[in-house]
Chain A
Amino acid sequence: AQSVTQLGSHVSVSEGALVLLRCNYSSSVPPYLFWYVQYPNQGLQLLLKYTTGATLVKGINGFEAEFKKSETSFHLTKPSAHMSDAAEYFCAVSGRSGGGADGLTFGKGTHLIIQP
Protein backbone atom coordinates (compact mmCIF):
# COMPACT_ATOMS: atom_id res chain seq x y z
CA ALA A 1 0.00 0.00 0.00
CA GLN A 2 1.08 3.57 -0.63
CA SER A 3 0.40 6.90 1.01
CA VAL A 4 1.51 10.48 0.47
CA THR A 5 1.75 13.33 2.95
CA GLN A 6 2.12 16.90 1.77
CA LEU A 7 3.18 19.23 4.55
CA GLY A 8 1.30 22.51 4.41
CA SER A 9 -2.03 22.86 2.68
CA HIS A 10 -1.11 26.46 1.79
CA VAL A 11 2.32 27.91 1.05
CA SER A 12 2.86 31.59 0.38
CA VAL A 13 6.06 32.99 -1.14
CA SER A 14 7.08 36.29 -2.66
CA GLU A 15 7.63 36.61 -6.37
CA GLY A 16 11.28 35.78 -7.08
CA ALA A 17 11.71 33.77 -3.88
CA LEU A 18 12.49 30.08 -3.55
CA VAL A 19 9.56 27.70 -3.76
CA LEU A 20 9.69 24.57 -1.59
CA LEU A 21 6.76 22.18 -1.45
CA ARG A 22 7.21 19.16 0.79
CA CYS A 23 6.17 15.61 0.07
CA ASN A 24 6.78 12.43 2.03
CA TYR A 25 5.63 9.04 0.87
CA SER A 26 5.15 5.53 2.10
CA SER A 27 5.37 2.55 -0.21
CA SER A 28 5.79 -1.18 0.22
CA VAL A 29 7.53 -1.45 -3.15
CA PRO A 30 10.07 0.78 -4.90
CA PRO A 31 8.02 3.87 -5.64
CA TYR A 32 7.47 5.86 -8.77
CA LEU A 33 6.86 9.48 -7.73
CA PHE A 34 5.12 12.33 -9.50
CA TRP A 35 4.32 15.99 -9.07
CA TYR A 36 1.25 17.36 -10.81
CA VAL A 37 -0.04 20.93 -11.03
CA GLN A 38 -3.69 21.93 -11.25
CA TYR A 39 -4.83 25.38 -12.34
CA PRO A 40 -8.37 26.52 -11.48
CA ASN A 41 -11.07 24.56 -13.29
CA GLN A 42 -8.48 22.49 -15.11
CA GLY A 43 -7.26 18.92 -15.05
CA LEU A 44 -3.92 17.88 -13.67
CA GLN A 45 -0.73 18.44 -15.63
CA LEU A 46 2.47 16.52 -15.02
CA LEU A 47 5.38 18.63 -13.75
CA LEU A 48 7.95 15.87 -13.33
CA LYS A 49 8.41 12.26 -12.36
CA TYR A 50 10.94 9.95 -10.77
CA THR A 51 11.06 6.32 -11.80
CA THR A 52 14.63 5.04 -11.59
CA GLY A 53 18.13 6.39 -12.06
CA ALA A 54 19.12 9.97 -11.26
CA THR A 55 17.49 11.10 -8.05
CA LEU A 56 17.34 14.77 -9.03
CA VAL A 57 14.72 15.21 -11.71
CA LYS A 58 13.93 18.33 -13.66
CA GLY A 59 10.50 19.19 -14.93
CA ILE A 60 8.65 21.86 -16.77
CA ASN A 61 8.47 25.54 -15.81
CA GLY A 62 11.78 25.42 -13.94
CA PHE A 63 10.67 22.98 -11.26
CA GLU A 64 12.80 20.15 -9.95
CA ALA A 65 12.52 17.50 -7.25
CA GLU A 66 14.92 15.20 -5.48
CA PHE A 67 14.14 11.63 -4.47
CA LYS A 68 15.64 10.84 -1.08
CA LYS A 69 15.03 7.23 -0.19
CA SER A 70 16.48 7.53 3.31
CA GLU A 71 14.06 10.33 4.11
CA THR A 72 11.18 8.92 2.02
CA SER A 73 10.82 12.38 0.56
CA PHE A 74 10.29 13.94 -2.85
CA HIS A 75 10.23 17.70 -2.26
CA LEU A 76 9.49 20.07 -5.13
CA THR A 77 11.55 23.23 -5.60
CA LYS A 78 11.89 26.19 -7.91
CA PRO A 79 14.64 28.78 -7.42
CA SER A 80 12.55 31.82 -8.29
CA ALA A 81 8.77 31.99 -8.07
CA HIS A 82 6.70 33.59 -10.77
CA MET A 83 3.15 34.84 -10.49
CA SER A 84 2.06 32.20 -12.99
CA ASP A 85 3.15 29.47 -10.57
CA ALA A 86 0.13 30.12 -8.37
CA ALA A 87 -1.82 26.85 -8.46
CA GLU A 88 -2.55 23.63 -6.58
CA TYR A 89 0.30 21.11 -6.50
CA PHE A 90 -0.13 17.41 -5.92
CA CYS A 91 2.46 14.81 -5.06
CA ALA A 92 1.59 11.23 -6.05
CA VAL A 93 3.06 7.76 -5.73
CA SER A 94 2.59 4.63 -7.77
CA GLY A 95 3.57 1.20 -6.60
CA ARG A 96 4.05 -0.18 -10.07
CA SER A 97 4.27 -3.60 -8.57
CA GLY A 98 3.26 -5.29 -11.77
CA GLY A 99 3.39 -4.80 -15.48
CA GLY A 100 1.45 -1.98 -17.04
CA ALA A 101 0.09 1.12 -15.43
CA ASP A 102 -1.06 1.38 -11.86
CA GLY A 103 -3.33 3.89 -10.16
CA LEU A 104 -1.83 6.86 -8.40
CA THR A 105 -2.19 7.67 -4.72
CA PHE A 106 -2.28 11.43 -4.28
CA GLY A 107 -1.47 13.73 -1.42
CA LYS A 108 -4.04 16.27 -0.28
CA GLY A 109 -2.42 19.01 -2.31
CA THR A 110 -0.62 22.27 -1.53
CA HIS A 111 -2.04 25.58 -2.65
CA LEU A 112 0.84 27.82 -3.72
CA ILE A 113 0.24 31.54 -3.33
CA ILE A 114 2.62 34.02 -4.91
CA GLN A 115 2.81 37.45 -3.30
CA PRO A 116 3.75 40.34 -5.62
Chain B
Amino acid sequence: DAGVIQSPRHEVTEMGQEVTLRCKPISGHNSLFWYRQTMMRGLELLIYFNNNVPIDDSGMPEDRFSAKMPNASFSTLKIQPSEPRDSAVYFCASSPPGRTTEAFFGQGTRLTVV
Protein backbone atom coordinates (compact mmCIF):
# COMPACT_ATOMS: atom_id res chain seq x y z
CA ASP B 1 0.00 0.00 0.00
CA ALA B 2 1.27 3.48 -0.82
CA GLY B 3 0.19 4.91 2.52
CA VAL B 4 -1.61 8.20 3.03
CA ILE B 5 -0.89 10.49 0.10
CA GLN B 6 -0.92 14.25 0.50
CA SER B 7 -0.50 16.89 -2.16
CA PRO B 8 1.16 19.19 -2.66
CA ARG B 9 4.20 18.56 -0.42
CA HIS B 10 5.03 22.24 -0.40
CA GLU B 11 2.84 25.26 -1.09
CA VAL B 12 3.83 28.91 -1.10
CA THR B 13 1.04 31.40 -1.58
CA GLU B 14 0.33 35.04 -1.08
CA MET B 15 -1.85 36.35 1.71
CA GLY B 16 -5.48 36.47 0.66
CA GLN B 17 -5.25 33.62 -1.81
CA GLU B 18 -7.25 30.41 -1.56
CA VAL B 19 -5.29 27.28 -0.69
CA THR B 20 -6.49 23.69 -1.12
CA LEU B 21 -4.69 20.76 0.45
CA ARG B 22 -5.50 17.25 -0.68
CA CYS B 23 -5.41 13.86 0.94
CA LYS B 24 -5.93 10.29 -0.22
CA PRO B 25 -6.33 7.92 2.73
CA ILE B 26 -5.26 4.31 2.81
CA SER B 27 -7.75 2.08 1.05
CA GLY B 28 -10.14 0.43 3.52
CA HIS B 29 -9.64 3.02 6.21
CA ASN B 30 -12.86 4.65 7.34
CA SER B 31 -11.57 7.48 9.52
CA LEU B 32 -9.66 10.51 8.29
CA PHE B 33 -7.99 13.24 10.32
CA TRP B 34 -6.48 16.63 9.54
CA TYR B 35 -3.76 17.94 11.88
CA ARG B 36 -1.72 21.13 11.89
CA GLN B 37 1.82 21.32 13.25
CA THR B 38 3.50 24.57 14.28
CA MET B 39 6.44 25.33 16.52
CA MET B 40 4.29 27.34 18.89
CA ARG B 41 1.26 25.07 19.23
CA GLY B 42 2.62 21.65 18.32
CA LEU B 43 0.27 19.15 16.71
CA GLU B 44 -3.39 20.11 16.76
CA LEU B 45 -6.37 18.12 15.54
CA LEU B 46 -8.39 20.28 13.18
CA ILE B 47 -11.18 17.95 12.09
CA TYR B 48 -11.91 14.29 11.61
CA PHE B 49 -14.30 12.25 9.54
CA ASN B 50 -15.78 8.82 10.13
CA ASN B 51 -17.29 7.10 7.09
CA ASN B 52 -17.01 10.40 5.19
CA VAL B 53 -19.06 12.27 7.79
CA PRO B 54 -17.45 15.08 9.81
CA ILE B 55 -17.52 14.05 13.46
CA ASP B 56 -15.65 16.79 15.25
CA ASP B 57 -14.56 20.10 13.71
CA SER B 58 -14.03 21.92 16.97
CA GLY B 59 -10.34 22.28 16.18
CA MET B 60 -10.90 24.26 13.00
CA PRO B 61 -9.46 27.66 13.90
CA GLU B 62 -12.00 29.86 12.14
CA ASP B 63 -14.46 30.09 9.30
CA ARG B 64 -11.67 30.59 6.80
CA PHE B 65 -10.96 26.87 7.16
CA SER B 66 -13.20 24.22 5.65
CA ALA B 67 -12.81 20.51 5.00
CA LYS B 68 -14.69 18.06 2.85
CA MET B 69 -14.68 14.35 2.26
CA PRO B 70 -16.81 13.68 -0.82
CA ASN B 71 -15.94 9.97 -0.89
CA ALA B 72 -13.92 7.37 0.97
CA SER B 73 -10.78 7.98 -1.03
CA PHE B 74 -10.41 11.75 -1.03
CA SER B 75 -10.48 14.74 1.30
CA THR B 76 -9.63 18.41 1.00
CA LEU B 77 -8.74 21.12 3.47
CA LYS B 78 -9.33 24.62 2.15
CA ILE B 79 -8.22 27.96 3.54
CA GLN B 80 -9.87 31.03 2.09
CA PRO B 81 -8.52 33.66 2.42
CA SER B 82 -5.12 32.54 3.63
CA GLU B 83 -3.09 34.54 6.17
CA PRO B 84 0.59 34.40 7.20
CA ARG B 85 -0.35 32.86 10.55
CA ASP B 86 -1.72 29.84 8.67
CA SER B 87 1.84 28.89 7.75
CA ALA B 88 2.38 25.40 9.15
CA VAL B 89 2.73 21.76 8.20
CA TYR B 90 -0.63 20.15 7.65
CA PHE B 91 -0.91 16.41 8.12
CA CYS B 92 -3.61 14.05 6.99
CA ALA B 93 -3.98 10.70 8.73
CA SER B 94 -6.31 7.74 8.36
CA SER B 95 -7.36 4.80 10.52
CA PRO B 96 -8.95 1.45 9.73
CA PRO B 97 -12.21 0.39 11.42
CA GLY B 98 -12.02 -0.50 15.10
CA ARG B 99 -11.63 1.28 18.40
CA THR B 100 -8.05 0.30 19.08
CA THR B 101 -6.49 1.24 15.82
CA GLU B 102 -3.82 3.85 15.36
CA ALA B 103 -3.61 6.65 12.83
CA PHE B 104 -1.34 6.37 9.81
CA PHE B 105 0.10 9.72 8.79
CA GLY B 106 0.92 11.20 5.42
CA GLN B 107 4.15 13.10 4.88
CA GLY B 108 2.44 16.45 5.28
CA THR B 109 2.05 19.64 3.27
CA ARG B 110 4.28 22.51 4.26
CA LEU B 111 2.29 25.69 3.71
CA THR B 112 3.94 29.09 3.62
CA VAL B 113 1.76 32.17 3.32
CA VAL B 114 3.70 35.33 2.48
Contacts and interface: CB of A to CB of B under 8 A. Distances in A.
Contacts of A109: 42-43
Contacts, number: 64
A105 B45 contact: yes
Interface residues of B, number: 28
A9 to B, nearest CB: 10
B100 A90 contact: no
A107 B42 contact: yes
B99 A49 contact: no
A51 B95 CA distance: 15
B84 interface: no
A22 interface: no
Interface of B: 4, 30-31, 33, 42-45, 48, 50-51, 56, 59, 91, 93, 95, 97-108
Give me the 9 closest cross-chain CB pairs, A-B, nearest first: A101-B31, A43-B105, A103-B45, A106-B43, A51-B100, A101-B95, A44-B105, A108-B42, A43-B107
Interface of A: 32, 34, 36, 41-46, 49, 51-52, 90, 96, 99-109
